């Protein structure tokens, strides 16, 4: 629970702007998914091995990683592990922060919440949460079902706090 404290002020400011605070289903799904993605709010930066998957970030045009070193420079950061030069540019432009030039800013609580709220809003996850489609939220955030049992458990724990 102590890991959440640095995010409180940012969450109270940015989650309402995305409508995440409007229903218990939204807030519980957001908190549960977020807790999984960033190791219970302890890791705002992807742990770099590099693993084989991380090595594949290098040169991935679909992520905008077109320059040598982009894979590591634009590794996963923030609550939902923002990854890739193009994503840093897009979300940075949307929130008014130059994340492409300063990717480490995505690790700060305020920017981590802003990027997560932007991601949530632009993928219409409020509607998915309102329909109770928790596994679909996992697929839209993760691209698959990685960690789905843990995500389900964390969403259930959030419901225990909020409902």
Q: Which residues are known to be catalytic?
A: 37
Q: Which residues contact 6 (CB under 8 A, 6 or more apart)?
A: 109
Helices (H), 38-124: 52-55, 70-73, 85-95, 109-122
Sign of the CA dihedral running 155, 108, 44, 89: positive
Residue 67 tokens read as: 């320059």
Helix 148-162 / helix 24-37 crossing angle, nearest 10 deg: 140
Residue 147 tokens read as: 């960690």
């Amino acid at each position: 629970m102590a890991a959440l404290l640095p995010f409180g002020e940012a969450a109270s400011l940015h989650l309402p702007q995305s409508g995440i605070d409007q229903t218990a289903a939204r807030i519980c799904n957001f908190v549960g998914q977020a807790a999984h993605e960033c190791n219970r709010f302890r890791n705002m930066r992807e742990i770099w091995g590099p693993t084989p998957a991380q090595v594949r970030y290098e040169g991935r045009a679909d992520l905008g990683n077109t320059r040598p070193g982009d894979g590591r420079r634009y590794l996963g950061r923030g609550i939902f592990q923002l990854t890739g030069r193009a994503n840093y540019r897009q979300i940075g432009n949307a929130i008014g922060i130059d994340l492409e030039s300063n990717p480490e800013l995505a690790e700060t609580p305020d920017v981590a919440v802003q990027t997560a709220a932007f991601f949530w809003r632009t993928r219409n996850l409020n509607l998915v949460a309102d329909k109770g489609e928790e596994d679909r939220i996992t697929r839209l955030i993760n691209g698959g079902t990685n960690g789905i049992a843990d995500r389900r458990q964390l969403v259930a724990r959030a419901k225990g706090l909020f409902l």
